[in-house]
Amino acid sequence: MGKKDFILLNPQLEKTFIEICNRIRRLQSGGTIDSLQRIGATTTGQIGASYVSLKTLASEYLPDEKLATLLWKQQKREEQIVACFLFPFDINKEKITQLAPHCLHFEIAGYLGSLYLYKRSDLLELSEEWLNSENPLMQLAIMTALARYLILNKESDKISKDYFRTVVNRNYKDKYVQLAAERYRFNI
Protein backbone atom coordinates (compact mmCIF):
# COMPACT_ATOMS: atom_id res chain seq x y z
CA MET A 1 0.00 0.00 0.00
CA GLY A 2 1.24 3.47 -0.84
CA LYS A 3 1.76 6.21 1.72
CA LYS A 4 -1.62 7.80 0.97
CA ASP A 5 -3.48 4.49 0.76
CA PHE A 6 -4.95 3.52 4.07
CA ILE A 7 -8.09 1.94 5.37
CA LEU A 8 -9.46 2.62 8.81
CA LEU A 9 -9.81 -0.71 10.56
CA ASN A 10 -12.50 -1.31 13.07
CA PRO A 11 -11.97 -4.28 15.40
CA GLN A 12 -14.40 -6.52 13.49
CA LEU A 13 -12.84 -5.72 10.10
CA GLU A 14 -9.36 -6.38 11.45
CA LYS A 15 -10.48 -9.67 13.02
CA THR A 16 -12.13 -10.83 9.78
CA PHE A 17 -9.13 -9.78 7.69
CA ILE A 18 -6.68 -11.68 9.94
CA GLU A 19 -9.01 -14.70 9.96
CA ILE A 20 -9.17 -14.81 6.14
CA CYS A 21 -5.40 -14.37 5.78
CA ASN A 22 -4.78 -17.19 8.28
CA ARG A 23 -7.27 -19.44 6.50
CA ILE A 24 -5.59 -18.71 3.16
CA ARG A 25 -2.20 -19.69 4.64
CA ARG A 26 -3.67 -23.02 5.75
CA LEU A 27 -4.62 -23.68 2.10
CA GLN A 28 -0.96 -23.57 1.09
CA SER A 29 0.13 -26.27 -1.31
CA GLY A 30 3.87 -26.72 -1.67
CA GLY A 31 3.27 -29.30 -4.38
CA THR A 32 1.43 -26.74 -6.49
CA ILE A 33 4.21 -24.19 -6.09
CA ASP A 34 6.87 -26.79 -6.93
CA SER A 35 4.96 -27.82 -10.06
CA LEU A 36 4.60 -24.22 -11.20
CA GLN A 37 8.28 -23.53 -10.61
CA ARG A 38 9.29 -26.65 -12.59
CA ILE A 39 7.49 -25.35 -15.67
CA GLY A 40 8.97 -21.89 -15.23
CA ALA A 41 5.86 -20.09 -13.97
CA THR A 42 6.25 -17.13 -11.66
CA THR A 43 5.24 -18.01 -8.11
CA THR A 44 6.06 -14.72 -6.43
CA GLY A 45 3.21 -13.50 -4.26
CA GLN A 46 1.37 -16.80 -4.04
CA ILE A 47 1.16 -19.85 -1.82
CA GLY A 48 -0.47 -22.24 -4.26
CA ALA A 49 -4.02 -22.38 -2.91
CA SER A 50 -6.49 -23.65 -5.48
CA TYR A 51 -9.22 -21.51 -7.00
CA VAL A 52 -11.88 -23.92 -5.71
CA SER A 53 -10.54 -23.66 -2.13
CA LEU A 54 -10.47 -19.87 -2.35
CA LYS A 55 -14.01 -19.76 -3.76
CA THR A 56 -15.23 -21.96 -0.92
CA LEU A 57 -13.48 -19.76 1.63
CA ALA A 58 -14.90 -16.55 0.12
CA SER A 59 -18.44 -18.00 0.10
CA GLU A 60 -18.40 -17.94 3.90
CA TYR A 61 -18.21 -14.12 3.98
CA LEU A 62 -20.55 -11.37 2.83
CA PRO A 63 -19.40 -8.83 0.23
CA ASP A 64 -17.64 -5.96 1.97
CA GLU A 65 -15.86 -3.11 0.19
CA LYS A 66 -13.36 -2.34 2.96
CA LEU A 67 -12.49 -5.99 3.51
CA ALA A 68 -12.14 -6.68 -0.22
CA THR A 69 -10.02 -3.56 -0.71
CA LEU A 70 -7.78 -4.51 2.19
CA LEU A 71 -7.28 -8.00 0.76
CA TRP A 72 -6.69 -6.55 -2.74
CA LYS A 73 -3.98 -4.20 -1.52
CA GLN A 74 -1.95 -7.06 -0.06
CA GLN A 75 -0.68 -7.68 -3.61
CA LYS A 76 -0.84 -11.46 -3.17
CA ARG A 77 -2.52 -13.87 -5.56
CA GLU A 78 -4.82 -15.62 -3.12
CA GLU A 79 -5.91 -12.46 -1.34
CA GLN A 80 -6.77 -10.79 -4.64
CA ILE A 81 -8.81 -13.79 -5.80
CA VAL A 82 -10.81 -13.77 -2.56
CA ALA A 83 -11.27 -10.00 -2.96
CA CYS A 84 -12.82 -10.56 -6.41
CA PHE A 85 -15.55 -12.59 -4.71
CA LEU A 86 -16.04 -10.02 -1.94
CA PHE A 87 -16.25 -6.78 -3.92
CA PRO A 88 -19.85 -5.50 -3.65
CA PHE A 89 -21.48 -4.34 -6.86
CA ASP A 90 -22.21 -0.87 -5.57
CA ILE A 91 -18.53 0.15 -5.53
CA ASN A 92 -18.38 3.31 -7.59
CA LYS A 93 -16.71 3.24 -10.99
CA GLU A 94 -13.83 5.46 -9.90
CA LYS A 95 -12.88 3.18 -6.99
CA ILE A 96 -12.80 -0.02 -9.02
CA THR A 97 -10.93 1.82 -11.79
CA GLN A 98 -8.29 2.85 -9.24
CA LEU A 99 -7.93 -0.71 -7.94
CA ALA A 100 -7.82 -2.52 -11.29
CA PRO A 101 -4.30 -1.48 -12.39
CA HIS A 102 -3.01 -3.12 -9.22
CA CYS A 103 -3.88 -6.65 -10.27
CA LEU A 104 -0.92 -8.81 -9.34
CA HIS A 105 -0.78 -10.23 -12.89
CA PHE A 106 -2.94 -11.29 -15.84
CA GLU A 107 -4.45 -14.29 -14.01
CA ILE A 108 -5.93 -11.91 -11.42
CA ALA A 109 -7.14 -9.53 -14.14
CA GLY A 110 -9.04 -12.46 -15.64
CA TYR A 111 -10.61 -13.28 -12.28
CA LEU A 112 -11.55 -9.65 -11.75
CA GLY A 113 -13.41 -9.72 -15.07
CA SER A 114 -14.99 -13.17 -14.79
CA LEU A 115 -15.98 -13.02 -11.12
CA TYR A 116 -16.85 -9.38 -10.57
CA LEU A 117 -16.91 -6.95 -13.50
CA TYR A 118 -19.30 -8.90 -15.74
CA LYS A 119 -22.12 -8.37 -13.20
CA ARG A 120 -21.78 -4.59 -13.03
CA SER A 121 -24.62 -2.52 -14.44
CA ASP A 122 -22.08 -0.06 -15.91
CA LEU A 123 -20.11 -2.77 -17.75
CA LEU A 124 -20.49 -1.13 -21.16
CA GLU A 125 -19.41 2.26 -19.84
CA LEU A 126 -16.43 0.70 -18.07
CA SER A 127 -15.47 -1.23 -21.18
CA GLU A 128 -14.84 1.82 -23.32
CA GLU A 129 -12.82 3.53 -20.62
CA TRP A 130 -10.73 0.48 -19.75
CA LEU A 131 -10.12 -0.66 -23.32
CA ASN A 132 -8.81 2.83 -24.14
CA SER A 133 -6.69 2.99 -20.97
CA GLU A 134 -3.56 1.43 -22.51
CA ASN A 135 -3.29 -0.60 -19.29
CA PRO A 136 -3.03 -4.27 -20.32
CA LEU A 137 -4.40 -5.59 -17.02
CA MET A 138 -7.50 -3.42 -17.30
CA GLN A 139 -7.94 -4.32 -20.97
CA LEU A 140 -7.78 -8.04 -20.22
CA ALA A 141 -10.10 -7.72 -17.21
CA ILE A 142 -12.79 -5.92 -19.18
CA MET A 143 -12.44 -8.19 -22.23
CA THR A 144 -12.89 -11.21 -19.95
CA ALA A 145 -15.90 -9.54 -18.31
CA LEU A 146 -17.52 -8.90 -21.69
CA ALA A 147 -16.92 -12.50 -22.77
CA ARG A 148 -18.41 -13.88 -19.55
CA TYR A 149 -21.38 -11.54 -19.80
CA LEU A 150 -22.13 -12.70 -23.35
CA ILE A 151 -21.81 -16.36 -22.41
CA LEU A 152 -24.33 -15.97 -19.60
CA ASN A 153 -26.64 -13.48 -21.36
CA LYS A 154 -26.85 -14.71 -24.94
CA GLU A 155 -30.01 -12.79 -25.76
CA SER A 156 -29.07 -9.55 -24.03
CA ASP A 157 -29.45 -6.28 -25.86
CA LYS A 158 -27.11 -4.53 -23.40
CA ILE A 159 -23.95 -5.86 -25.07
CA SER A 160 -24.07 -7.31 -28.54
CA LYS A 161 -21.87 -9.84 -30.26
CA ASP A 162 -21.07 -7.15 -32.84
CA TYR A 163 -19.73 -4.90 -30.09
CA PHE A 164 -17.64 -7.78 -28.74
CA ARG A 165 -16.32 -8.49 -32.25
CA THR A 166 -15.18 -4.86 -32.42
CA VAL A 167 -13.44 -5.25 -29.05
CA VAL A 168 -11.57 -8.43 -29.98
CA ASN A 169 -10.62 -7.14 -33.43
CA ARG A 170 -8.71 -4.17 -32.03
CA ASN A 171 -4.95 -4.19 -32.16
CA TYR A 172 -3.61 -4.24 -28.62
CA LYS A 173 -0.05 -3.19 -27.85
CA ASP A 174 0.44 -5.83 -25.19
CA LYS A 175 1.23 -9.28 -26.56
CA TYR A 176 -0.78 -11.15 -23.92
CA VAL A 177 -3.88 -8.98 -24.40
CA GLN A 178 -3.59 -9.46 -28.16
CA LEU A 179 -3.38 -13.25 -27.71
CA ALA A 180 -6.47 -13.18 -25.48
CA ALA A 181 -8.35 -11.14 -28.09
CA GLU A 182 -7.40 -13.65 -30.77
CA ARG A 183 -8.58 -16.52 -28.58
CA TYR A 184 -11.94 -14.81 -28.01
CA ARG A 185 -12.16 -13.95 -31.72
CA PHE A 186 -11.80 -17.64 -32.54
CA ASN A 187 -14.69 -18.52 -30.23
CA ILE A 188 -17.29 -15.99 -31.38
How far apart CA 30 and CA 136 sit, in angstroms, is: 30
pLDDT digits (tens, 9 = 90+) for 96-130: 999 999 999 999 999 999 999 999 999 999 999 99
H or E segment and range at residue 104: none
pLDDT of 136 > 50? The answer is yes
How far apart CA 112 and CA 109 sit, in angstroms, is: 5
Higher pLDDT, 9 or 103: 103
How far apart CA 188 and CA 185 sit, in angstroms, is: 6
> Dihedral of CA 23/104/87/5: which sign?
positive
Q: What are phi and psi of 43, to 5 degrees?
A: -120, 10
pLDDT digits (tens, 9 = 90+) for 141-166: 999 999 999 999 988 888 999 999 99
Q: Is residue 39 helix, strand or coil?
A: coil
Residue 109 · residue 97 · CB < 8 Å: no
Share of the chain above pLDDT 70, in %: 88
pLDDT digits (tens, 9 = 90+) for 54-90: 999 999 999 999 999 999 999 999 999 999 999 999 8
pLDDT of 39 > 80? The answer is no
pLDDT of 3 > 60? The answer is no
How far apart CA 86 and CA 91 sit, in angstroms, is: 11
Contacts of 18 (CB under 8 A, 6+ apart): none
Q: What is the pLDDT of residue 1?
A: 44
Q: What is the pLDDT of residue 38?
A: 76
Closest to 88 measured CA to CA, from 108, 66, 56: 66
Q: Is residue 21 helix, strand or coil?
A: helix
